[in-house]
Amino acid sequence: MDDPSTDTIRNVALVGHGGSGKTTLIEALLQRAGVIGRMGRVEDGTTVCDTEPESTRRGITLTLGLAPMDWTVSGRTFRINLIDTPGHDDFTLALDAGLLVADLAVLVVSAADGVEPGTERAWARCEALGLPRLLFVTKEDKPNADFHAVLSQLQESFGPSVRALELPLGERHSFRGVADLLADTDREYDDAGRSQLVPVPEDLADEQHQRHDELIEEVVSGDDDQLERYLAGDVPSLVEFERTLAHEVADGVIAGVLVGSAITGIGVDALADLICELGPAPRPATVLVGGEETSVPADPGAEPLVHVFRTLADPFVGQISLLKVLSGTIGADDHLVNTSTGTEERLRGLFRIRGKEHLPARSLPAGDIAAVAKLVGSATRTLLALPGRPVLLPDAVAGPPAFTIALRPLTPSDEDRLPDALRRLCAEDPALAVVQDNETSQVLLRGSGETHVAVALERMARKFGVEAGTEDVRVAYRETIAGAVEVEGKAKKQSGGHGQFAVTRLRVSPAARGAGFHFVDKTVGGAIPRNYLPAVERGLEEAMRTGGLHGHPVVDVRVECVDGKHHPVDSSDMAFRTAAAHGLKEALAKAGTVVLEPISALTVTVPDGYRGEVLADLSARRGHVLGTQLRTDGTHEIQAMVPESELVRYVIDLRSSTGGRGSFSTAHDHYDVLPDHLVAASAQR
C-alpha cells in the first residue's frame, strides 16, 4: 500500500447493534476493493477483523479491528481506514476508542431487525462527539427485510436529519439493485457484484422522483447560492449537489441512509463511493494546552502530534501501540516525547494493521492510522510530540465498572504471576480495573459486565499463561455495639520476675452512624497514668479491627475510660493494650451487636415504558426509592438507596429487563442495619 496524502484519507468507524452486520460489511468492502479474494464468515471465525479466539468462539466482535483499503472513485484514489467496533453492551469503551479516531461513522442497521438498543447507543455516542454519520441498511435480501419500515424507525428515533439517499430495487428474495436518489438513476447487480444502469421500475417511479426532488430541495437549502439558482430554474450539477451534501454530512445536518446487502454485494460499491465523496477528510483534533481546549488541524506540514489510542499485547512482537497522527508527518525511527511523562519514545518501525497482517509503512501523514511496536512507557490515551510541547488529551468520559468478580490463582505459579498479568491486561483494556480489597483479602477484577470479565480472563490465560478461578465477592459488613454497657478489662500475669498488670474500667456505647471510633479519657486521680492512655486507645482499635460477635470489623463506638488500676513495676503499654481489648470484647458480648451493611446510592436511567418494572425490581432488592424525574430526552432517572449485596448482578438483570436500554451508576453512601434474618448469612460471606 502506498502512503496516502491527508486529503485522501477517510477514517470510518462501522458502528451499530451486535449482530447487525458490521464485520460482514467490512468483509464485503475489502473483497470489492480487491484486498481479499473471498469473504470470510463470522460463524467460521474467518473474517479479517475478528482475529482473537475469544471473538471467533462467541461469533461476536469484542474489540477494535482495523482494515485499511484503497478505493478509486472519479479517477481519484482514497485510503479508507475501516474501523470495526463491538456492538455488545460490555465493550462500549472499545466503541468510544474507535469513534475518537474516526472522522465518519457508518451506522449499520439490519433491514430485518431495525433500530435496536445498540443502534441507539451508537447514535448517541456519535451525537455527543459531533461525529458525522451515514447509515447503511444491510441484509436487505433477508426474508423479513423491510426498508421503508426501518427508514421510518430511523427517522422517528433520530429526527429529521435522517434522509434516504437510496432506495432498494425489489426486496427480500427479489432484491436486485439500488436507486440513487441524488443522481435519480437506478443500478441492478448481477451475481458477480457487477452493476449496470437500468430504467426506473414503474412501481418505484413516483416515489423515487418525489424523494429525489425532496432531497435536492433539502440539499440546496444549505447553500444560499444554489438555492437561489434552483428556485430560478437553473439546476446545479450533480457534482455541485454532492459537494454541498458533503458539507451538510460533515456538519451533521444530514445523515444519509444507504441500502444494500453485504452477502450479495449489492450497494457495497456505492457505499465505498459515498464514503470517499461525502465523508470528510481528517478533521481537527481537540487537545488541552494549559488546561484550555485547542483545535489542532490535520496539517501534514506541521509539528508531529500522535495519539496512542489502543495498546495490544502480542505474544510474538510484544507491545503494539495503535496510533493516529493528529498533525505533522512521522517516519520510522523518529524520536518523540510522551507529553504526560516526558519519556522519550523511538518509533522503531511503523506498520499498518489489517486483521493479523502487518503492512510496513514508510511514513504516516496527518490523519493516518497505523501501529508501532515496543513503545517504552506510552499507554493508551497518551500523546507523543516533539520535546517541550505541553499538550494533553481531554479526560475520557467513561462510566465506572459495573460488574465485579473475585479472583483466586489456581496454582502457586499463577499466584506469583497474577499481579503482573492483571497489570498488562488492564494496560490493554482500560475498561478493566483491579482492586486489592485488604478487608476481605480478595483480588477484585471489575469490568463492564459478565461477558467483558469472562473474556478478559480467557485472554489473560491465552496471552500471559496465567489462569485464575473466580469466587463470590464478599460484602464488607460492619458491626456496632447494640447498647450502652460498663465493663472492666484486665490483664494480669504473675509468673516470677517482671509481670503484666493493667485494669481498665470502660463505658462503651453506640456512636452516631458513620461517626467511627471516639475515645474519651474520664479517669481521675491518676488511676491510669497518662502515658498509658494511648496504649488503651490502640488496644481498643485493634480489638475493633479483629471483629465483633459475627466476625465483622466494629465501627461507630464511643468508649469512655472511667477508671483503672496500674502497678508501678508490672504495668506496661502491652498490658494496657491487652486489658482494653479484653474490655471491649466483654462489652460486645454483654450488650450484643448489630450488623451493618453497606448501602449504595443508585442512579438508574431507563426509557419510558420500563420505569414501573425497574421500580418493582428495586423494591424486591430492599431498595429505598428517593425519587424519579423525566429527563428532556424522554428517559426516566430513578434515584434510590440499595444494599450493596443486592447489586452484585444488577448490570446483567437491568439489561435483561430493559432490552439493553437501561443504564446505571452507583457510589457507596453509608452503612445501615442489616435485617435480622440476613445476619447469619452475612457471617458466611
Given a cut of 60, is residue 147 above it in pLDDT?
Answer: yes
Among 238-242, 321-325, 596-600, name the one with the lowest average pLDDT.
238-242
pLDDT at 382: 92
55-88 b/e with 16+ CB inside 10 Å = b? bbebebbbbbbbbbbebeeeeeebbbbbbbbbbb
Nearest one of 560, 557, 523 to 541, comparing CA atoms: 557
Q: Tens digit of pLDDT for each residue in 408-429?
A: 999 999 989 999 999 989 988 8
Residue 223 DSSP class: -
Q: Where does the pLDDT of residue 400 fall: very low under 50, low under 70, confident under 90, or very high at 90 and above?
A: low
Q: Tens digit of pLDDT for each residue in 267-324?
A: 999 999 999 999 999 999 999 998 899 999 999 999 999 999 999 887 777 789 999 9
The mean pLDDT of 394-420, rounded to a whole number, is 86
Given a cut of 90, is residue 55 above it in pLDDT?
Answer: no
Whose cell is 459537494? That residue is: 243
Given a cut of 70, is residue 399 above it in pLDDT?
Answer: no
The mean pLDDT of 522-549, rounded to a whole number, is 94
Given a cut of 90, is residue 394 above it in pLDDT?
Answer: no
Share of the chain above pLDDT 70, in %: 98
The answer to whether the beta carbons of residues 370 and 323 sit under 8 Å apart is yes
pLDDT at 229: 82
Residue 145 DSSP class: -
Distance of CA 598 to the CA centre of its chain: 26
The answer to whether the beta carbons of residues 300 and 366 sit under 8 Å apart is yes
Cβ neighbours around 300 below 10 Å, total: 20
- Exposed/middle/buried for 215, CB within 10 Å: 0-12, 13-18, 19+? buried
Whose cell is 522503531? That residue is: 348
Q: Which CATH architecture has domain 403-471?
A: 2-Layer Sandwich (3.30)
pLDDT at 226: 81
The mean pLDDT of 552-566, rounded to a whole number, is 96
HSE-CB at 478 with a 13 A cutoff on CA atoms is: 21
Distance CA 625, CA 638 (A): 7
Supply φ then ψ for residue 280, to 5 degrees.
-75, 150
The mean pLDDT of 197-220, rounded to a whole number, is 90
**Three-state DSSP state, 153:** helix
pLDDT at 684: 59
Distance CA 304, CA 27 (A): 33
CATH of domain 478-591: 3.30.230.10
pLDDT at 632: 85
pLDDT at 227: 80
Given a cut of 60, is residue 123 above it in pLDDT?
Answer: yes
Q: Where does the pLDDT of residue 175 fall: very low under 50, low under 70, confident under 90, or very high at 90 and above?
A: very high
For residue 489 the three cell numbers come to 478489662
pLDDT at 628: 94
Given a cut of 70, is residue 397 above it in pLDDT?
Answer: no
Q: Tens digit of pLDDT for each residue in 60-106?
A: 888 899 999 999 998 999 999 999 999 988 888 889 999 999 999 99
Q: Where does the pLDDT of residue 497 fall: very low under 50, low under 70, confident under 90, or very high at 90 and above?
A: low
Given a cut of 70, is residue 22 above it in pLDDT?
Answer: yes
Q: Does domain 597-682 have CATH number 3.30.70.240?
A: yes
Distance CA 207, CA 186 (A): 13
Please give the residue that has the higher pLDDT: either 612 or 316.
612
- Structural domain boundaries of the chain? 6-278, 285-392, 403-471, 478-591, 597-682
Residue type, 132: P
pLDDT at 516: 93
Distance CA 618, CA 346 (A): 53
Distance CA 445, CA 423 (A): 11
Q: Tens digit of pLDDT for each residue in 335-350?
A: 999 999 999 999 988 9
CATH topology match: 403-471 vs 597-682: yes
Given a cut of 60, is residue 685 above it in pLDDT?
Answer: no
Return mean pLDDT, the chain. Answer: 92
- What is the full DSSP assignment across 334-353? -EEEETTT--EEE---EEEE
The answer to whether the beta carbons of residues 674 and 477 sit under 8 Å apart is yes
pLDDT at 428: 87
| CATH fold for the domain made of 6-278 | Rossmann fold (3.40.50)
Given a cut of 60, is residue 462 above it in pLDDT?
Answer: yes
Residue 418 Cα distances to 392, 423, 446, angstroms: 32, 9, 15
Whose cell is 440539499? That residue is: 219
pLDDT at 398: 61
- What is the full DSSP assignment across 396-456? P--PPP-EEEEEEESSHHHHHHHHHHHHHHHHH-TT-EEEEETTTTEEEEEESSHHHHHHH
Largest CA distance in the chain: 118
491-517 b/e with 16+ CB inside 10 Å = b? beeeeeeebbbbbbbbbbbbbeeeeee
Given a cut of 90, is residue 493 above it in pLDDT?
Answer: no
Q: Where does the pLDDT of residue 660 fall: very low under 50, low under 70, confident under 90, or very high at 90 and above?
A: confident
Cβ neighbours around 552 below 10 Å, total: 23
CATH of 285-392, one of 3.40.50.1580, 3.40.30.10, 2.40.30.10, 3.20.20.70: 2.40.30.10
Cβ neighbours around 660 below 10 Å, total: 18
